Structure 1
Amino acid sequence: MKPYSLDLRQKIVDTYLQGGISQRKLAARFCVTLSFIEKILKQYRETGNIAYKVRIKQTPPKLNEQQLNVLKEIVEENNDATLAEIREELEKKVGVLIGRSTVDRMLQKMDITIKKNITCFRKRNRKSSIIKG
């Protein structure tokens, strides 16, 4: 999500400093959240600055290069596997447990798509229903 413009931030602070308006009404007037109003006013009081903060440090990736290569091998070996199955196999091989959505993001990052074979799912479901029944 993009940060709000400096122009909008300045209008919010100027309107608040003129007085006579609560933070809730200010949020409604400018169609922003109350938490944003609170944050921008606090930042203005503490630093005198209303500019948005530039993110300096990115969150490090969950998997290193070696682990990404193992993930790629897992997908190449069993392209019909679900994200949950890939996740479990990755944990067995490298000892790192990540979420299904993280597996999906990592595969997207590597431009790997998983094309499912519908007949494989039918066989899998038939086997599980026979075992349960």
Structure 2
Amino acid sequence: MEAYSIDLRARVLLAVDEGIDTRREIAETFGVTTRWIRLLVQHRRKTGSIEPLPHAGGWDPKFTPERLERLKTLVEKKPAATLDELRKCSRIRCCNMTVSRALKQLGFTRKKRRYVPVSKIAPR
């Protein structure tokens, strides 16, 4: 999720500093929440800036570039393997959804049926 723009932050704080409206009315005017306004005022008081904080990180990816290459070779060797089989063969502790996202990152798509049996009902 993107942080609110500096322009919006400055306009909201200007409205709060002027004190003409309540925070609820300011929130409705600018399309933000009163909680966000409170946090923004606290952030300005604490840091002296209205800049958003940088992204704090998150989980390290389970599939590093080397592991992605290994997964790619596994898929090329066994194209009919299921997500569970690929997860077990890759020896990475993760869920099937993680393997699915890694395959999508590699550019693999879901399998599609090539053959559809002919309908047994004749057209009228």
Root-mean-square deviation (CA, aligned residues, Å) is 2.9
Q: Tell me if the contact between 1:23 and 1:37 (Cα under 8 Å) persists in the aligned partners.
A: yes
Aligned to 2:106: 110
Which sections of structure 2, spanning at least 5 residues, go unmatched?
A: 118-124
Q: Tell me if the contact between 2:86 and 2:99 (Cα under 8 Å) persists in the aligned partners.
A: no
Aligned to 1:129: none
Question: Quick one: structure 1 residues 63 and 33, their matched pair in 2 at CA, closer, same or farther if it must change by over 3 Å?
Answer: same
Aligned to 2:31: 31
**Which protein is bigger by CA-based radius of gyration?**
2
2:85 aligned partner, one-letter code:
E
Q: Supply the distance in 2 between the matched residues of 1:28 and 1:103 (Cα, whole angstroms).
A: 43
Equivalent of 1:89 in 85, 90, 106: 85
C-alpha offsets along residues 12-38 of structure 1, whole Å, 9 cap, x if unaligned? 011111224333322111012334223
> 1:43-54 counterparts in 2 under 5 A?
43-54=43-54
Aligned to 1:67: 67
Equivalent of 2:95 in 92, 98, 116: 98
TM-score normalized with structure 1 length: 0.66
1:61 match: secondary structure? coil
Count of matched residue pairs:
116
Q: Supply the distance in 1 between the matched residues of 2:87 and 2:100 (Cα, whole angstroms).
A: 15
Give the percent of matched residue pairs that are identical in Structure 1 and Structure 2.
30
Higher relative helix content = 1
The Cα of 1:74 is off from its aligned counterpart by 3.8
